Structure 1
């Protein structure tokens, strides 16, 4: 008998990483579970992924689908953190607790928990998680935090490692070799740091003659920066905006190296055997750098000298190594561990 699952995350916001998490979840969902996705853009979500969708800010609509459903899933990402927003964890925890009060089985799936700076949001996260049927997290730091609350999560790599990639039409028409760049708007990416990084990219391109692909993962945060860099580049370049996260991942099959801020830009590139250089603005990116030994800098420790940066990129481009196929396959296989808890929703 088909069961209904309400899937909740940062969906319909035009963020490639979160859309990739949704597709990864739908890819892993048991065939006897019918998904209903909460989205900021329900029509787009329905058309793009062939699933039923519900507006994520309509309380009455959400309440209606919850009452008709059996399972509620937090669908990946850093939903419970209070650094970028204090209201976001209240919203997500509120829905989880409401679902629990309505008697639904609840799963916290592939979560990156924290940072949680405020006592209230930390308490709220604990309340939401302690009554879950199952919990999985995507990194050791998240596991350590929830284990302090006597919650024993499944720990596995981010599900996007296991996302099935699609080839990008006409990518081969662009000159090779290709290096991709993803920068996003953030307080740590000050105008001065952006200026330094842009100068370093200009020098890097002059030294290598690569085709630079500027890849926005969320147009509202990334596109303006991509355009400002593109206007100053001396060599061949292209801004590439892809809506299908499977194509976004597939793009990196044709890329020699990735210089990235966003977590999923680095995961997708590394998964497709591209060398990576990280610019970390967030603990989740730093965790990835440590776990798979990526070169890079914390943005707040970025050198002031563009020559130091471009030299580091040249070293990574010339001598850096992509993850081995064995290492990638291990990460993919372990990422599929998140699939295990999706089947537990009706067995506990």
Structure 2
């Protein structure tokens, strides 16, 4: 089956790239011929071994050639950042339906949505198979009159890196999110507390274009913070797997820490972060937390339980099976 995948791919966000890195091989192994709409089609094709087309100029022809359109995964159907983004993703779904293509919304977090946005999503998704990745999205779908399944984020299908023979000095890894100053300020206070306690601290930009300034601000305020860099989701997973603890504002910092069974603490800038934290048993801190509270949380954080880890990974596999079944029926 020829499937066209629509998401935030080829735009430099390692979280979205982790979704694709987990999903593409899983679909390929199930006989799906995948083409991805991308901001950088050449890079997407080379890195993920898929067909790729421009998410703008290449979308019309790609829609004509595919048999099915999948929207996801990620937090695509929201209008808190831009109504244009929501219109883009819904427009693709409407065009696919008008062309008689099969459609599905997969592994998404729904919202936040304005009243007008909710109406648009509800109308467009009527009759479309929907799978979401957190309980809040499941409730929102029900509120909009949509039936939805619960699946796990496909990034959980990434292969784990081999353990290092020598891990070097252990470090606490901080993962900021550009544009959310209150949350990044909490990471700064934590970095100061950690270095005062003699801990080694590192920071990782999951979306360098947006997050590099936040990492630079951390390093300027706390000179002992080391900046670590990743260009692929596999490199990001390696860095996260080597940490003794991860404190993340970004969702996929939490997801990859859970996959690697590394203790994690979340600062939830978006409901999707709190939604995953609830599934994985991750403590969520308020950005206004005192340094002592932040430090204590990072020091007592524990890794995901074996049963929760197994459930999440199994949920990711079940999600791919669900998707292929819906597109084939």
Q: Give TM-score scaled by structure 1 length.
A: 0.87
Aligned length: 328
Question: Does the 8 A contact of 1:71 with 1:345 survive in 2?
Answer: no
1:204 aligns with 2:194: yes
| CA distance in 1 between partners of 2:35 and 2:55 (Å) | 11
Give the one of 257, 263, 266 matched to 2:245. Answer: 257
Deviation at 1:114, TM superposition (A): 0.8
- Partners of 1:167 and 1:184 lie apart in 2 by 28
From 246, 256, 261, the counterpart of 2:234: 246
Cα contact 1:167–1:247 (8 A) shared by 2? no
1:172 deviates by: 6.9
Say if 1:32 and 1:295 are closer, same or farther in 2 by CA, change over 3 A: closer
Q: Deviations over 1:55-104 (max 9, x none)?
A: 1111xx32112111101011201110011111111100000110011011
Cross-structure match for 1:338: 319
Matches within 5 A, 1:166-181: 166-167=161-162, 175-181=168-174
Distance verdict in 2 for CA 1:201–1:99, change over 3 Å: same
2:139 to 123, 141, 144: 144
Map residues 1-348 of structure 1 onto 2, 5 A cutoff: 3-30=1-28, 31-58=30-57, 61-119=58-116, 121-132=117-128, 134-167=129-162, 175-186=168-179, 188-190=180-182, 194-195=184-185, 197-210=187-200, 212-235=201-224, 237-299=225-287, 302-303=288-289, 308-309=290-291, 311-348=292-329
Per the TM alignment, residue 325 of structure 1 is displaced from its structure 2 partner at its CA by 2.1
Deviations 1:17-48 (A, max 9, x none): 11111112213215422111100111111111
Q: Is the contact between residue 15 and residue 233 of structure 2 (CA under 8 Å) also seen in structure 1?
A: yes
Q: CA RMSD in A?
A: 2.1
Q: Which sections of structure 2, spanning at least 5 residues, go unmatched?
A: none
Instruction: Check whether the contact 1:286–1:298 (CA below 8 A) recurs between aligned residues.
Output: no
Contact 2:176–2:187 (CA under 8 A) maintained in structure 1: no
SS of the residue corresponding to residue 337 of structure 1 reads helix
1:29/1:342 contact within 8 Å kept: no
Work out the CA distance in 2 between the residues paired with 1:194 and 1:51. Answer: 35
Q: Measure, in 1, the Cα distance between the counterparts of 2:72 and 2:126.
A: 17
* C-alpha contact 1:206 1:234 (8 A) present in aligned 2: no
Q: Residue deviations 1:189-226, cap 9 Å, x none? A: 14xx645642431221220332x221100011111111
Taking a change above 3 Å as real, the CA distance of residues 53 and 198 of structure 1, as seen in their structure-2 partners, is same
**Paired residue secondary structure (2:159):** coil
State the 1:130 CA deviation: 1.3
User: Which is worse superposed, 87-96 or 158-167?
Assistant: 158-167
What TM-score, normalized by structure 2, do the two folds share? 0.92
Structure 1 unaligned blocks of 5 or more: none
**C-alpha separation between the residues in 1 aligned to 2:165 and 2:185?**
30
What SS is found at the alignment partner of 1:222?
A: helix
Per-residue Cα deviation, 1:275-333 (whole angstroms, up to 9, x for no partner): 1121111111122233333223233xx13xxxx22x22432343332112222112111
